[in-house]
Amino acid sequence: MILRTFILLTLIPYIYADTLTLLNWEDYLSENTISAWEAKSGHEIHQIYFDNDEDRDSILINHTDQVIDLVIVDEIATTGFGKNGFLLPVKDYQTKPILAEIDPEIQSSCGQYGLPYLRGTFGIAYRSDKIADKPKSWAFILQPNDEIKNHIGLVDDYMDMLAPPLFMLGESINSENPKVLKEAFFMLKNTVPSVLTFEYGISYIEADSKRDQLYVTLAYSGDQYALNTKAGKEIWEYTTLEEGTIAWVDCLTVMADSPRKEIVYDFINFIYQPKIAAENSESIYVASPLASARALQSSAFLSDASVYPDEKIMNKAQYYKPLPSKNITLRNRITSSIIKSHEAK
């Protein structure tokens, strides 16, 4: 797979001193928010996109030839990169008292080195024009019927690729048991003949000529909005599955070596205004961590279980935890083997 993120880095033109650079998932900051910020501040926003956590980490670590001011990072990586000196501690931010707006439990997810940006769940996005009945179980992709064989998208990620079989096995997504991970490996291997791609669904339908062959893909809540935007029609829906979901928080973090911190602080103060946070969240169809923002959102959005899940779903939610390097190595070997099996089929 060609890593678009690295190609983007080599093609980036000279970035002027007053332009903020944000390392981010694609379609994860609304165009209206960008336009409003640029009109108000007079500063542009330049975004570098990544497709998965590994690409993000590599770009972040090797960014010496490219200034990066802000990064959207998951809650586990926020602590790791913070302790290694890449990220500025929140206590050093010269911003308004934003923390008072955030539920302390949600803020704890981002710890000392980030502010909760958006939160959501992990499940599958599926083509409602191709799949008659809403998927209910992770078995839908692990034991696929003929309807979706060769139309499945998984992800190249050592946590999220393994999550579906671990849910099916009734195990923790953070399992360190080699026997359990081996069993999960064989469940994935049996699915390989039915897999179309391991590329992140949003990137795949944007760039690949076989985009119309993707019927179902591992996804994060809100991905269906971006998928529909790129498809040009409302054909994608998102759902969690009965065995469980992952509840996640993405954090907005400041690079310690950013030379534009004053502009960064202005941007943070801007984007965490309740009205702006509410509009950004609803525009990209992902839940806000701010109670003051949620109070301004539409009733239809607030009642959508794909955005704000009910108690029944959240009671089955699991959360990412830091893993020891030995476990990460094993998981990387598993995902690498699965992808190689797919390439060889």
What sections of 139-248 are H helices per DSSP? 139-142, 163-168, 178-191, 201-207, 223-231
Residue 134 tokens read as 């809403």
Q: What is the pLDDT along the chain (345 residues), one digit of tens a residue?
A: 334 444 344 434 444 568 999 999 989 999 999 999 999 999 999 999 998 888 899 999 988 778 999 999 999 999 999 999 999 999 999 887 788 888 888 899 999 999 999 999 999 999 999 998 999 999 999 999 999 999 999 999 999 999 999 999 999 999 999 999 999 999 999 999 999 999 999 999 988 788 899 999 999 999 999 999 999 999 999 999 999 999 999 999 999 999 999 999 999 999 999 999 999 999 999 999 999 999 999 999 999 999 999 999 999 999 999 999 999 999 999 999 999 999 987
Residue 94 to residue 166: CA distance in whole angstroms: 42
Prediction pTM value? 0.88
- What are the respective helix, strand and coil percentages of the chain, to the nearest 5? 45, 20, 40
Q: Do residues 110 and 201 lie in contact, with contact meaning Cβ atoms separated by under 8 Å?
A: no
* pLDDT score, position 17: 66
Pair 101, 292: CB distance under 8 Å: yes
d(Cα 286, Cα 280) in Å, to the nearest integer? 9
Q: How far apart are CA 345 and CA 92, in angstroms?
A: 52
Give yes or no for a contact between 172 and 149, defined as CB atoms under 8 angstroms apart: no
DSSP track, 230-279: HHTSS-EEEE-BTTBEEEEEEEEEEBTT-S-HHHHHHHHHHHTSHHHHHH
Instruction: Decide: helix, strand or coil at residue 193.
Output: helix
Give me the pLDDT at residue 249, please.
96
Euclidean distance between CA atoms 219 and 230, whole angstroms = 15
Running DSSP on this structure, what letter comes out for residue 132? S
Q: How far apart are CA 343 and CA 198, in angstroms?
A: 10
Torsions phi, psi for 22 (to 5 deg): -120, 125
Confidence (pLDDT) at 118: 97
Q: What are phi and psi of 74, to 5 degrees?
A: -70, 165
Q: What is the DSSP letter of 44?
A: -
